[in-house]
Structure 1
Amino acid sequence: MVAAQPLHQRLAAEFRARIASGRWPEGEQAPSEALLCEEFGTSRGPVRQALATLRAEGLIVGGQGRSPIVRRNVPSHSASALGSFTAWAREQGREPGQRTTLQARVPASPDIAERLQVEPGEPVLELRRVRTLDGAPALCETMHFVWSLGKRLMEFDPDTGSVNRFLLDAGADLYASTHQIDAVAATAEDAAQLGLAEGAPLLRVRRTTTDAAGDVVEYGEDRYVPGVTTVIVENRLFAAPSPALRSVPVRRDA
């Protein structure tokens, strides 16, 4: 028999749904702990745990001695799914899109050569796209592939959809990826592509993809517009293999 989900988790799910639906409007106060306890017929403990979960997710702020304030509902993005913008967008009920700005064979710069573990000047495939959500710019995407893999993309129109799906359907060995996440200032090019001011903060995700043998086959860098997504990293509080931010299988529909 499957154990029932803990009450605080069920309450957190209900509160998220109310924020997503607009029942708890952005910028307004959520009901007080006392009102929520009365509505759900429970003690303050589960309500406080549920509100703490939403606070950690960035969905509400405040609440210490007063009702919390609802923040704008920013979709979360699991670290294990960072290679799948297309799938993530559709899971959120959004329409993903892309506009290719560069698709070319280029000599590897010293930095890219080091990332891909090739010699500087060796040919690689460089692909640049602006990814969109419901038609609005969401991130700038830059990808570099070792030429043995990238040359296959010369036959592909990146404006039509998923690069990973095309490569995997063509028999490419894309096995796992690692991600580095930080914040950077928008360059002049970023600003022009994303409709932001130069120097505006961006969430940067750098990705290294390897094949089953552990050889690097792709290095990518995504720069997200603020407010497009939050990244959730799940860890286990016991001595187990590794947190979610380590290598994860590459999804087919990125």
Structure 2
Amino acid sequence: MSSPVYIQIHNQIKKDIEAGVWAVGDRIPSERELALEFNVSRMTLRQAVQTLVEEGILERQVGAGTFVARKKVQEKMTGVTSFTELMEEQGKKPSSRTVSYLVTTPSLSEMERLKLKDDEKVLRMERIRYADEVPICFEVATLPYSLVKDYERNQITTSLYRTLEESGRKIGHAQQSVSAQVASERIAEYLNIKRGSAILRLRQITELGDGTPFEYVRTQYAGDKFEFYLEK
């Protein structure tokens, strides 16, 4: 099973950055130039670049272009973020709409973060998460397929953490990072906000109780509907 074209482009750009083709802070070629180089449509190229932006590898600067991202100062947050439990604690009804649900070959980033072998597959799903029917965030979650292949789809999309715990798997630690960005046209449509609105981006790698990473999530929260609370 071959990866989608945009993932193949994502992998090549990531390899080029790691090989020093572009250094931190460098501006990468325009979408038009890259689309010609890879012989794909600008829409496909834009999807590959947006995936790298969501992972914090690239960053967009309005009016200037797309650059290799600088490392950001990180603030440690306590606890594992579970959207379903978080909403229920606040007296809101959580729900979600699945945009895509695909068993596929992992990207290089997904392989690294989930410590997968070359022949392993992943489940990659995109969801819009709601609180009392109001769209709060757009989430891309990648899971080792071997971990979830015996579960029903609704068990995974409704509340993965609860499903795992009910089957005897303990949720362990999570590594989280939060940064700011502006909403793309696609995300703005999903979250019912204006394009260019403030977005809080969370990247999280979650482990099972034995330290095995089982979830790599990239979530974009509507800035006017959600805030992170940090405890020290």
Instruction: Note whether the superposition's TM-score is higher than 0.5.
Output: yes
2:180 aligned residue: 183
Q: 1:223 offset after TM fit, Å?
A: 0.9
The runs of at least 4 aligned residues of structure 1 exceeding 6 Å deviation read: none
* SS class of match (2:141): strand
Tell me the distance in 1 between the aligned counterparts of 2:150 and 2:168: 10
Residue 88 (structure 1) aligns with: 86
Q: Is the 8 A contact 2:180 2:200 kept in 1?
A: yes
- Of structures 1 and 2, the larger Rg is shown by 1
Shift of 1:198: 2.9
| Structure 1 CA distance for aligned equivalents of residues 155 and 100 of structure 2 | 10
8 Å contact 1:204–1:224 — kept in the other structure? yes
SS, match of residue 171 in structure 2: coil
Q: 1:129 — aligned with what?
A: 127
Moved more, 135-144 or 177-186: 177-186
Report the counterpart of residue 158 of structure 2 in structure 1: 161
Report what 2:10 is aligned to.
Answer: none
Q: Equivalences for 1:99-138 in 2 at 5 Å?
A: 99-119=97-117, 122-138=120-136
Match of residue 147 from structure 2? 149
Secondary structure of the corresponding residue to residue 230 of structure 1 = coil
In the alignment, structure 1 segments of 5+ residues that lack a partner are 1-77, 236-254
Deviations 1:90-122 (A, max 9, x none): 222222111111222111011211221224573
Structure 1 148/121 Cα, relative in aligned 2: closer, same or farther at 3 Å?
closer
- After superposing the two structures, state which structure 1 stretch, 174-183 or 137-146, moved more: 174-183
Cα distance, 1:159 vs. partner? 8.3
The residue identity in structure 1 corresponding to 2:231 is: E
SS in 1 for 2:180: strand
Q: Distance in 1 between matches of 2:111 and 2:197?
A: 29
Aligned partners of 1:159, 1:213: CA distance in 2, in Å? 21
Is 1:233 matched up with 2:230? yes
Tell me, yes or no, if the aligned pair for 2:80 and 2:174 is still in contact at 8 Å.
Answer: no
Tell me if 1:203 matches 2:197: no
The count of aligned residue pairs is 157
Matched with 2:14 is none
**What amino acid does structure 2 have at the position aligned with 1:176?**
H
Cα-to-partner distance string for 1:226-250 (whole Å, 9 max, x where unaligned): 1222212122xxxxxxxxxxxxxxx
SS at match of 1:152: coil
- Are residues 215 and 82 of structure 1, via their aligned partners in 2, closer, same or farther at CA, if it must alter by over 3 Å? closer
RMSD: 2.3
Question: How big is the shift at 1:171?
Answer: 2.9
Counterpart in the other structure of 2:168: 171
- Measured at CA, do residues 189 and 150 of structure 1 come closer, stay the same or move farther in structure 2, by a change above 3 Å? farther
SS in 1 for 2:102: strand
Note the C-alpha offset of 1:160: 6.9
TM-score w.r.t. length of structure 2: 0.60
